[in-house]
Amino acid sequence: MFGKKAQPPIKSLIAQGTRIEGNMKFTEGLRIDGEVFGDIQAGPEENGSLLVISEAAVVQGAILADHVIINGTVRGPVHARELLELQPKARIEGDVSYVSLEMHQGATISGQLRPLIAQGAAGEEEKPLLKLATKSA
C-alpha cells in the first residue's frame, strides 16, 4: 500500500548479553540486541532483508542488507541496498552507503555518506530520497 514494500519477518535474534565473534550471513530479518564482532551480510538481493540494531547493541564490522534500522553503535561501513533508518541513539563510525536515508535528530555518523542510485533507476539521474525527522512532542 502507498508504494511501500512489506518488510520481511524478523526470524533471528541475538539477545542482549550475547556476544558473537565471527562473520554472519542471514536471510529475511535479523535483530541484534547483543554484540557482534564480525561482518553481517544479508542473503541475495531478490529475497529482501531487514536488519535491526537496537539501542543496546554494538556491532564491529561491515554491514550489508536491504533495509537497515540502527539505534545502537556500529563501528564499520554500512551498506543499505534500499533504506537506512538512523534512530536517535544511532552511532556509526564508518562510511555509509544507501539508496534512501531517514535520519532522526541525535543520530551521528563519523564517516562519508555515499548515496546510491536505485536499482530500478539505472541510467536515470535520480536524486536519493532524504527524509528529515522532526522532533515530536
Does residue 4 have a pLDDT over 90? no
- Domain ranges, ordered by start, for the chain: 21-119
pTM over 0.85: no
In tens, the pLDDT along 6-44 reads 777 888 999 999 999 999 999 889 999 999 999 999 987
Taking the C-alpha atoms of residue 123 and residue 75, their distance in angstroms, rounded to an integer, is 33
Average pLDDT of the chain? 87
Please compute the mean of the pLDDT values over residues 69-73 and round it to a whole number.
Answer: 98
Give pLDDT, residue 9. Answer: 83
pLDDT at 22: 96
Can you say whether the dihedral through the CA atoms of 57, 111, 43, 10 is positive or negative?
positive
- Which pLDDT score is estimated for 126? 53
Give the 3-state secondary structure of 33-64.
Answer: CCEEECCEEECCHHHCEEEEECCCCEEECCEE
DSSP state of 6: P
Q: What angle do CA 119, 120, 124 make, to 5 degrees?
A: 95
Give dist(CA 35, CA 135) in Å, integer. Answer: 29
pLDDT of 121 higher than 80: no
- The amino acid sitting at 126 is E
